[in-house]
């Protein structure tokens, strides 16, 4: 097995190089996702499978949703930020992207996994690292607003209960299609 770094919109491989092509949790972050999917199709042989998955960003990915809910309660502009920066997190968006790329026999699934946390900070702390749209949003907030979001989120999760282990639902959307 080998790994190569490249541009998803201009893959450095000849046509029909692979039987399958998979993109996990990144299609939302590619400037021209349609071009990237067409590149995936180009490097996949006829009859091969092209697939992707993205976290459900319309409420099913509780690990993110609890943070967005708290942010939106305090700043309604957070919803617009999320919509702008997190495309392809719904079944319709992914299916449309695959259909628009000419793929056939499109299948959609919704894998769900438990996300187990030992404490509130296990969920909150990684969100402050500035990764992805949520991290960028939180990093841009003034400290007082970030702390208010943290406390709102903790209250939403625990109410008056003390901090401790908890489990949230992690839901994604997976789509696959066959290259004609």
Q: Which residue has the higher pLDDT, 82 or 143?
A: 143
CATH number for the segment(s) 18-178: 3.40.50.150
Q: Which residue has the higher pLDDT, 167 or 87?
A: 167
pLDDT above 90 covers what percent of the chain?
65
pLDDT value for 98: 97
Q: Which residue has the higher pLDDT, 32 or 84?
A: 32
pLDDT value for 1: 81
Locate the domains of the chain by residue range: 18-178
Q: What is the mean pLDDT of the chain?
A: 91
pLDDT tens by residue, 99-116: 999 999 999 999 999 999
Dist CA 11 CA 141 (whole Å): 36
Spatial neighbors of 116 by CB under 8 A, at least 6 apart, are 165, 166, 167
CA distances from 164 to 42, 114, 167 (A): 49, 16, 10
């Amino acid at each position: 097995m080998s790994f190569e770094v490249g541009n998803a919109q201009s893959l450095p491989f000849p046509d029909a190089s692979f039987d399958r092509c998979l993109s996990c949790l990144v299609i939302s972050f590619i400037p021209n996702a349609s071009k990237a999917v067409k590149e995936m199709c180009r490097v996949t042989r006829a009859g091969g499978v092209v697939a992707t998955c993205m976290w459900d960003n319309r409420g099913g990915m509780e690990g993110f949703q609890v943070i967005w809910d708290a942010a939106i309660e305090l700043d309604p502009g957070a919803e617009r930020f999320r919509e702008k920066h997190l495309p392809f997190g719904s079944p319709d968006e992914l299916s449309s992207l695959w259909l628009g790329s000419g793929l056939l026999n499109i299948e959609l699934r919704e894998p769900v996994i438990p996300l187990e946390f030992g404490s509130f900070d296990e969920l909150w702390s990684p969100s402050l690292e500035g990764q992805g749209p949520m991290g960028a949003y939180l990093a841009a907030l003034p400290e007082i607003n970030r702390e208010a979001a943290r406390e709102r989120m903790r209250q939403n999760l625990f109410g008056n209960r003390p901090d401790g282990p908890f489990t949230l639902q992690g839901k994604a959307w997976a789509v696959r299609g066959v290259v004609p």
